[in-house]
Structure 1
Amino acid sequence: MKSIWGGSREDQNDTGSDRASARNSQHAERDSAPPDEHTRLLPNRVEGSNYLSPDDPAVSPYNLWSIRITRYFTILFTLIGFAWWTIILVSTFITPPGFYTRGSTFFSFSYASLALANLLFTLLFFAVPSKAVRIASLVTSGLLLIDAVLLISVQQTRYEEGWVGITSVLWAFVMAIWTLATDRLVAWGKYEEEERLTGRAETRRTLGEWVAVLLSTISMVILAVAVFLMTCTLFLRALDAGLAPPGKLYWVDGDKYRLHVYCNGNHTDGTGSRLPTVLLEGGEGPVEDGLWEFADNAIKNGSISRYCFVDRPGLAWSDTAPSPLSAGMAVEAIDEALARAGENGPWVLMSTDIGSIYSRILSSRHGENVKGLVLIDPLHEDFLSDVGAAGQGFILWLRGIISPLGLDRIPQALFKGRSKKDRVWGRSAYQTGKYIFTKLQENLVAGTLSQRDVVSSRAIQTQGIPLSLISSGAHIREDSQWEEKQRDLSGLTHNLQHWDIVNDAPNQVWKTLEGRNLIEKRLRQLVHQK
């Protein structure tokens, strides 16, 4: 009997048998063919008609060896990144051999942290790829490339960051590219396995997957914003590099770093007599921020004939020194910089606040060449334990690790007109990573090594050196202990010339007219020996 399609039932049976034979033949060929990445996995689940549910645990991109190897490499990179991050963290407090940077470690630490966070987020959300994450990774990669170009192409940033900073930014860039490639590869593997095992690529996501996508996207966007802010801060640093120092930079400590030395005026007065040079030492900030202007006016008024100052390590144009750095070690570097500059004194040492600690150590080591001491509201060595307080050190460290974001520098540059001078040595200098790193170094050893240095200096201080002590009346009224310690410092030598208390003056006594005139008067007496 023929069917309505014109063929007999026997013919149709023969055709079905042929198809079955062909299918069996294809399966046999597949079974005999060498296994590949798809066929060697889950061999009993690849029948075209036996698809799995999308929720089956077997439907996973981890089935592919390329995805598994990518994950293993991500774990390896994470371990390497953690080791690098740890080394840079330690170098903030104690500089390991070969890891010294002449700026600060905070930029290097930020890039190392960025790379480590990127890898951790990649591992955490490895099996949940997202287009938004890829876009954020692409933006991050582009910004990091700009950072690398800026850091390497600008001589000052390349000099300050050294090989540690360059390696950190390049590592962060490579890891951002790796994150982008990893997310794209996992997305491909997920598509391949879903199509192979379920018959189609799954476009739906579970609630848990949506939460993972949201968290991963937020994380990557935060990293991208952080890199953008770091790029803006690097642009500011590149602009600041164009501000030339007024003096010269001299290598010290075995040519490890340079200190800035500046001198102005004449060695002799109008009669040809050689006069002492006033050696200035700033307090919390560099000499340029206040005392520089005062010293120039003192020359114009005839109170002094010449002055010099050396920016302590990490202040203004001077490089930072390796950690740890005590007051005595800083004085040795200052002494060496003066010698290299050909400045041999004699000196009248003028200092303020914590800078008096450094002047006193210098005075004790060069007593025969020091013709006078002018201490302006000086810090007593007993207060160094406050400078070295652990809580203050932790705050400085926190400020340091967020300083590359420029959360204070960028708005002030854009909306308050802060200039290069403000950031290098002026009112915004305290925001820079180099300054914060220097204050952290000071904090770490203030109550131990530095206190030992200044106590030892007091024991060997030349007692015949004329001493003028000028104290802030406002400071004394606020703190009774401060008055007691000022009185103790008045006995630093046996030759106290004057102890003046300027009633309405703040800690920076020279900022009042009475204080300025009094300081000039005391300097004139010591310089001209009147």
Structure 2
Amino acid sequence: MVSLWGSKNGEERAKGDDTEHDGGDDREHTRHSGGPEPDERTRLLPPRNDGFLDPDDPAVSPYNLWSVRALRYLCVLFFIITFLWWVLLLVSIFVSPPMMHSRGSGFFDFSYTTLTLGNLLVAILFFSTPSKAMEWGSLVVVVFLLIDVIIIAAVERIRVEEGWVGIASVVWATLMALYNVLTDRVVAWGKKEEEERLTGRKETRRTLREWCAVLTASVIMVVMIVVVILLTATLILRSRDAGLAPPGQRYYVDGDKYQLHVACVGNVTYNDKGKRNPTILLEGGENPVEDTFDDWVYNAYNNGTIDRYCYYDRPGFAWSDNAPSPHSAGMTSDALSEALVRAGEQSPWILVSAGIGGIYSRIFSSRHVKEISGIMLIDALHEDLLYKVAKPGRGFLLWARGIISPLGYDRLFGAIAKGRKPEDRVYGRSAYQGGKYIKAKLQENLVANSLTKTEVSQARNIQSDRTPLVIVSSGINVRKDNEWEQKQRDLTKVTENLVSWDIVNAAPHEVWKTLEGRQILEKRLGELVKG
């Protein structure tokens, strides 16, 4: 069949229509007489009189080759596998499947998988229209992905945070990018082979449809190159931040699933009766505790108001890992209890917290009733206002910010244009831009008005009435929001042993940012220490 259709000598061409008629009879005879079976080079349409097909004939296609068809089938299979992995990673942001918890944010592996999906989708849509732009663009993507693999493998902290899920995602992205380079070259070869075989020459023209396909694919590839460059630059920033040593130690908690960072300043002291003096245990507010209490608490320590204080980073904050999802305030309190035991720290404690940290401190206090010597709540959030934290719109924005956080456009701009340092990104003014922080806030949002509210409501019933309590409120918030003022007043009833309730007139939510606020906070803290 191939020999009859594949070529015609001069004598056959001279015979004209009669020859074509005879050729038809011969082909019919070959088919019925057990001739060669059709293969990947079998033509789909009869040739022209000169033995070649028109270049625009649909039969002139690289899909005639089984190798090209096999590569496309594999591409579709890889796309399906990647899509299923993508869905699993999306679900794991909200509910961590067994063995798939990422101690990092989980947004990086999702980003790499999304990039892989886009890469494979472009390959499938424009499979039969190879171009140099696509081939070189894919090679650029491969190079940067290989750099990412090297960074993740070389930097221990990043390797630990990403875990096997993140490593598998970036390796898979690299392999799929390499596969796309391979398929593009094979399809280009197959297209050339079929054009030379069926039309007598390699086609140098492109139809308008092909030019549109090449242009669209090239634009998409440029976007992918920009994305992978941003991913690499963000990884480089993360590797630099990983060199910032924590002031304390990290301790495994929750069955060694993740680590909490705990640090203490000062020495243990004893009173005249030989009893251990209380240690101040700090709980940050909306931001990492290092950024919240660093100045005024350290000054109180230097002034001799307190002898010793400890602080920790909630999961996802500063040097602590992210916890599995879902994660409530009560789970954080239990993790803190475990970390303090592993650190060898002992009670009694005076709990000092601000903002939403008051929720965490109150739960911790109710679970360690006999170990708490006092509570200080600084413009703390009331449990009845947790619905604001749990707003669906806020949760969606946090999720959207988390998805694009691996691009690091804000962190990169801060580092390049504003000179932001690792301290700023780990626990300082740029910490809110990090994926771990965003993931922690998203976890907080998802259970604030359900699990967390139930836990803090139970804590109120368990809390000892004799525990000394100090409330310090923002005068600005109290004056502008009647509901806030009412809830601050209700917090004074958390225990029946209210030491004081101070409203700092000119102070914002971060009361310690004013001189009067710092003075009152240090004074009240000293009173709690003295008992």
Q: What is the TM-score with the length of structure 1 in the denominator?
A: 0.92
Contact 2:260-2:336 within 8 A present in 1 as well: yes
Quote the residue 1:376 is aligned against.
378
Answer yes or no: is the 8 Å Cα contact 1:356–1:379 preserved in 2. yes
CA drift at 1:36: 8.0
Q: 1:60 and 1:375, CA in 2 relative to 1: closer, same or farther beyond 3 A? A: same
Q: For each residue in 1:380-430, what CA deviation from the matched residue of structure 2 results, as whole angstroms up to 9, or x when unmatched?
A: 111111101111111011111111111101111112111111111111111
1:447 is matched by which residue type in structure 2? N
Instruction: Give SS of 2:225's match.
Output: helix
The residue that corresponds to 1:411 in the other structure is 413
Which residue, 292, 298, 301 being the options, matches 2:300?
Answer: 298
Kindly indicate whether the alpha-carbon contact (under 8 Å) linking 1:348 and 1:371 is maintained by their aligned counterparts in 2.
yes
Structure 1 counterpart of 2:448, one-letter code? A
Does the 8 A contact of 1:61 with 1:193 survive in 2?
yes
Partner of 1:338: 340
Query: What's the secondary structure of 2:499's corresponding residue?
Result: strand
- Contact 1:313 1:438 (8 Å CA) reproduced: yes
SS at match of 2:394: helix
Residue 239 (structure 1) aligned with residue 240 (structure 2): yes
Is 2:158 the partner of 1:157? yes
Number of the residue aligned with 2:191: 190
Give 2:474's aligned residue: 472
Find the counterpart in structure 2 of residue 9 from structure 1: none
Q: Which amino acid aligns with 1:527?
A: V
2:84 matched residue in structure 1: 83
State the secondary structure of the residue aligned to 1:57. coil
Q: How does 1:21-420 map to 2 (within 5 A)?
A: 37=39, 39-42=41-44, 44-45=46-47, 49-268=50-269, 274-420=276-422
Give the conservation status (yes or no) of the 8 Å contact 1:126–1:186: yes
1:37 CA displacement: 5.0
CA shift for structure 1 position 188: 1.4
Q: Identity of counterpart residues, as a percentage?
A: 57
> Which position in structure 1 is the counterpart of 2:3?
none
Cα offsets for 1:292-315 (capped at 9, x unmatched): 232211111121111011211111
* Stretch deviating more after TM superposition (192-201 or 277-286): 192-201
**Matches of 1:391 and 1:486 in 2, distance apart?**
26
Cα offset for 1:290?
A: 3.0
Quickly say closer, same or farther: Cα 1:116–1:427, change in 2 above 3 A.
Answer: same
Partners of 2:108 and 2:270 lie apart in 1 by 48
Q: Distance in 2 between matches of 1:231 and 1:462?
A: 52
- The verdict on how the C-alpha distance between 1:200 and 1:475 changes in structure 2, with shifts beyond 3 A counting, is same
- TM-superposed deviation, 1:355: 0.3
SS at match of 1:246: coil
Displacement of 1:248? 1.0
> Which residues in structure 2 correspond to 1:408-487 (within 5 Å)?
408-487=410-489
Shift of 1:273: 6.1
Q: Larger deviation: 288-297 or 165-174?
A: 288-297
Equivalent-residue separation in structure 2 for 1:290 and 1:270 (angstroms): 29
SS at match of 1:307: strand
Find the counterpart in structure 2 of residue 7 from structure 1: none
Q: 1:506 aligns with which of 492, 508, 514?
A: 508
Q: Distance in 1 between the 2:13 and 2:88 partners?
A: 67
DSSP-derived class of the 1:372 partner: strand
Displacement after TM superposition at 1:270 (Å): 8.4
CA distance in 2, matches of 1:409, 1:175: 28
Report if the CA contact (8 A) 1:268-1:275 is conserved: yes
TM-score, reference length from structure 2: 0.92
Query: Mean Cα displacement is larger for which, 309-318 or 351-360?
Result: 309-318
In 1, Cα distance between equivalents of 2:170 and 2:240:
19
For 1:148-200, what per-residue CA distance to the aligned partner results, in whole angstroms no more than 9, with x for missing partners? 01011110010000000000000000000111111111111111222222222
Deviations 1:273-299 (A, max 9, x none): 632111100001111113023221111
Cross-structure match for 1:491: 493
Shift of 1:18: 12
CA change 1:68–1:48 in 2 (3 A) is: farther
Counterpart secondary structure, 2:280: strand
Gaps of 5+ in 1: 1-14
Q: Residues 39 and 106 (structure 1 numbering): CA distance in 2 closer, same or farther, change over 3 Å? A: closer
Listed as ranges, the gaps of 5+ residues in structure 2 are 1-8
Task: State the SS of the aligned residue for 2:74.
Answer: helix
Give the letter for the 1:495 counterpart.
N
Q: Distance in 2 between matches of 1:525 and 1:351?
A: 16
Which deviates further from its counterpart, 377-386 or 56-65? 56-65
What SS is found at the alignment partner of 2:301?
A: helix
What SS is found at the alignment partner of 1:374? strand
Preserved CA contact (<8 Å) 2:13 2:49: no
* Deviations, residues 183-242 of structure 1 (Å, cap 9, x unaligned): 111111111222222222221112211111111001111111100010000001111111
Tell me if structure 1 keeps the 8 A contact 2:375–2:468: yes
Verify the 8 A CA contact 2:105 2:435 in the aligned structure 1. Answer: yes
SS at the partner of 2:94?
coil
1:10 maps to: none
Instruction: Give CA deviations for 1:488-515 in whole Å, capped at 9, x if unaligned.
Output: 1111111111110001101110111000
Matched residue SS, 2:260 = strand
Structure 1 Cα separation of the partners of residues 77 and 252 of structure 2: 41
Q: Is the 8 A contact 2:41 2:64 kept in 1?
A: no
Decide which moves more: 251-260 or 35-44: 35-44
After TM superposition, give the deviation of residue 17 of structure 1 in Å.
7.2
Q: CA RMSD in A?
A: 2.2
1:475 CA displacement: 1.2
Counterpart-to-counterpart distance in 1, 2:333 and 2:49? 81
1:38–1:366 CA distance, 2 compared to 1 (3 A): closer
Q: Secondary structure at the match of 1:92?
A: helix
How much does 1:44 deviate? 4.1
- Rounded Cα–Cα distance in structure 2 between residues aligned with 1:154 and 1:509: 39
Q: d(CA) in 2 for partners of 1:260 and 1:212?
A: 52
2:5 is aligned to none
Q: Deviation per CA, 1:326-371, whole angstroms, max 9, x where unpaired?
A: 1111100001101111112101110000000000001111111111
Write the letter of the residue equivalent to 1:386.
Answer: K
* Partner Cα separation in structure 2 for residue 284 and residue 332 of structure 1: 19
Secondary structure of residue in 1 paired with 2:318: coil
Query: 1:141: how far off?
Result: 0.3
Residues 281 and 349, structure 2, Cα contact 8 Å, conserved in 1 = yes
Instruction: Quote the Cα distance in structure 2 between the aligned partners of 1:349 and 1:126.
Output: 63
Q: What is the one-letter code of the residue matched to 1:179?
A: N
Q: Distance in 2 between matches of 1:406 and 1:275?
A: 45
Per-residue deviation at 1:268? 1.8
Greater mean deviation of Cα atoms: 85-94 or 302-311: 302-311
CA contact (8 A) 1:269 1:305 kept: no
What is the count of residue pairs matched by the alignment? 509
TM-superposed CA distance for 1:40, in Å, is 3.0
Q: 1-side partners of 2:412 and 2:293: how far apart?
A: 27
Using the alignment, how far apart are the partners of 1:94 and 1:42 within structure 2?
Answer: 53
SS at match of 1:309: strand
